[in-house]
Structure 1
Amino acid sequence: MPKRALFLFTAALCLAAPFAAQAEDAPEAWTPTDSSIRATAAGISLPHSIATLSLTKSGEASNGGRGVDNYAQYVSQDGAVQATLYVYLPTYADASLAAYMTDKAVMERFGPKTRRTAYASAPVAGHADRAIRAVYDDAADGALTTAAGFVHAGRWIAKIRVTGPTGRRAEVLDGLDAMLAQMTLDDPASLHATAPARFDACPIAANKDARLTRTTETGEAVPQEVRMPREGKDALCVRGTVTTAQGSYDMLQQVGRTEGAIIVPVDDSGTVLAFDPATSGAGYKLSIHMVGQTDLYGTYDRVPSPRQVAAILDGNDPNTAKASATAAYTATGDVTLVQATTAR
């Protein structure tokens, strides 16, 4: 998986004190019962035992104490087949995009012999087309089968990963399918219909550099919603490729909307750069979305060029190396805005 850009970590460290104050009132990440474990704020539950897998541990993957990035790990009796349920709160939530980025990460991690043998909408908790199911065979030079499921419920993403030896492929798939079937939600109506991302041809985009016209102003309490169709509802295309010290990333836009929003997915854990048409006046607002946090970087007169986006990701662009403001989200839905001038 590509490493997150250095400036993302820097922003998080600079704002650690305000976030820690919020964490004191955060709910426990998991609520156990005699037979199941429940992601408290998300209202998503799984039994302790599923197919041949049993729960071994659970906790927070990052953002300790905030309850916005949680995991529960399952293993077979001999430990050969392993599964993890991630329940996390990305501020740009899209199961289709999570599947797309996980697909790229799997192919990169497990090598060129890896074959994607399933990638389609699937049922979850008895609800048709509310998940994406992906299966990969011959991973790690033929040694492994790995499979994944993706669910978008309310503001939350639930991602399941199951991996085991190729000779136990059936057990891996049984584990994934049982976890999707036996997942329960406090509010089933919160499930989003989803489908794999669809791609089509993209018009040639201008690669001229953009000019930063203004920074985020005091009083912009929450980031504006990125106006991009999600969950495979409309075709996307690759507007350009961004090459950085850490890897290459796609600049995605909606097909037929040359003046619409542009997103640049960075990793499979919810980091997304978004250039969205400003709701007031001309230009594009840059926001960087992560788990439980959105950084605001001001408005450009046009979509920045791939060269500029690479500089942003590498932390080398003098205009965007520091966020103007950061919106911190709690598991309960509260948002706190921290202006950069008061955080440093």
Structure 2
Amino acid sequence: MPKRTKGLIAAIVSATALCLSIPTIAHAADAEAWTPTESAIRAASAGIALPHTVAGLSLSKSGEASNGGRAVDNYAQYLSEDGAIQATLYVYLPTYADASLAAYMTDKAVMERFGAKTRRTAYASAPVAGRADGAIRAVYDDAADGALTTAAGFVHAGRWIVKIRVTGPTERRGEVLAGLDGMLANLTVDDPASLHATAPASFSACPAAPTADARLTPAKPTEEAAPRDVRIPRDGKDALCIRGTAATADGRYDMLQQAGRSDSAIIVPVDDSGTVLAFDPAANGAGYKLSIHMVGQTDIYGVYDRVPSPHQIAAIIDGKDTQTAEAQAVATYAANGEVTVSRLAQKGR
């Protein structure tokens, strides 16, 4: 695998478009991503479906946003009859799945893209597929200098995240909201028990944390390479606190941990499509193991002797940290749940 240069996040951050733009090219393998029925489009691996027509919006096209042929990053676009109202359903498999973080990072992206006049007018748990608190519903008015209303819904079902975006002219706000609410109401999940209760993330300030730089110790070839589940509450189940902020030329990224737990994992959400840096307490209690989570893939690194400082995290994101120039192993996730771990050769070893 090539080095991650600015790049750690260049290829990664290109996935930010998953929220804010519509792919224009459908891959030949689209049939693997979606299985159309007579009345609905269905992501078979995820067990999630939506009718072809809902709340005045009709299916226009579908495909894979990235990872062509793997069916882990899928989209379906819907349009009103005149094309003025646009909606997109995303069903994707981030290896760190958290609906509250997806909503939080999308909120940041919407505010940054659509300008200072944009107002968040709704942001709360909402019903989906028979579960009263199975989704987060967000509404933004006066976007793009008052020209647009945009709305979003977020669902965590099993290993999958569902994101719905609906946007249209401000004067047709009612249709935008009807589109979002209709999609949430008509979304079906094969296994309702797989739906996670979710709520908007809440944040507080962490106690002052050490800011000394950390040192990375590469894992030994004999050590377990498979990714572990990052030990931190998800989907808004507990308050998070902001330990620090990593500032890069391209943006500012919050270092989050569980409020009131100095020994919890540290996560750094990077974009609105599920890219997360995770520093998880090592199994032996000595240090923090770094993993970088994306759609369908986790890159696995060694163990830092402490939580890296904000400027070190910024260097990791920018691809300028020589300690993390290369992953030691890569875990690739298939839509059917299979995980393939490839250990990578390290220079000088």
TM exceeding 0.5: yes
CA deviations 1:70-120 (Å, max 9, x no partner) are 000000000000000000000000000000000000000000000000000
Contact 2:301 2:329 in 1 (8 A): yes
Query: Partners of 1:299 and 1:126 in 2: how far apart?
Result: 42
Moved more, 26-35 or 191-200: 26-35
- Please list, as runs of the form range in 1=range in 2, the aligned pairs for 1:147-162 lying within 5 A after superposition: 147-162=151-166
Residue 264 (structure 1) aligned with residue 265 (structure 2): no
Moved more, 242-251 or 167-176: 242-251
Query: Partners of 2:231 and 2:36 in 1: how far apart?
Result: 38
Alignment-derived partner of residue 145 in structure 2: 141
Structure 1 residues 5 and 333: alpha-carbon distance in aligned structure 2, compared to 1, 3 A threshold: farther
Alignment-derived partner of residue 323 in structure 1: 327
Contact 1:216 1:324 in 2 (8 A): no
Residue 170 (structure 1) aligned with residue 186 (structure 2): no
CA deviations 1:186-215 (Å, max 9, x no partner) are 111100000000112310111100011233
Query: Partners of 1:96 and 1:190 in 2: how far apart?
Result: 16
Contact 1:265 1:271 in 2 (8 A): yes
Task: Give 3-state SS (helix, strand or coil) of 2:324's partner.
Answer: coil
Alignment-derived partner of residue 6 in structure 1: 7
Query: Partners of 1:133 and 1:123 in 2: how far apart?
Result: 9
Q: TM-score, normalised by structure 2?
A: 0.91
Task: Give 3-state SS (helix, strand or coil) of 1:83's partner.
Answer: strand
- Alignment length, in residue pairs? 328
RMSD: 2.0
Alignment-derived partner of residue 234 in structure 1: 238
Contact 2:205 2:243 in 1 (8 A): no
Query: Partners of 1:221 and 1:330 in 2: how far apart?
Result: 17
Alignment-derived partner of residue 52 in structure 1: 56
Contact 1:27 1:40 in 2 (8 A): no
Unaligned segments of structure 2, at least 5 residues: 13-28
Query: Partners of 1:10 and 1:71 in 2: how far apart?
Result: 19
Query: Partners of 1:40 and 1:27 in 2: how far apart?
Result: 10
Deviation at 1:217? 3.4
Unaligned segments of structure 1, at least 5 residues: 12-24
Q: TM-score, normalised by structure 1?
A: 0.92
Picking from 17, 35, 40, the partner of 1:36 is: 40
Contact 2:85 2:168 in 1 (8 A): yes
CA deviations 1:120-149 (Å, max 9, x no partner) are 000002210000000000000000000000
Percent identity over paired residues: 74
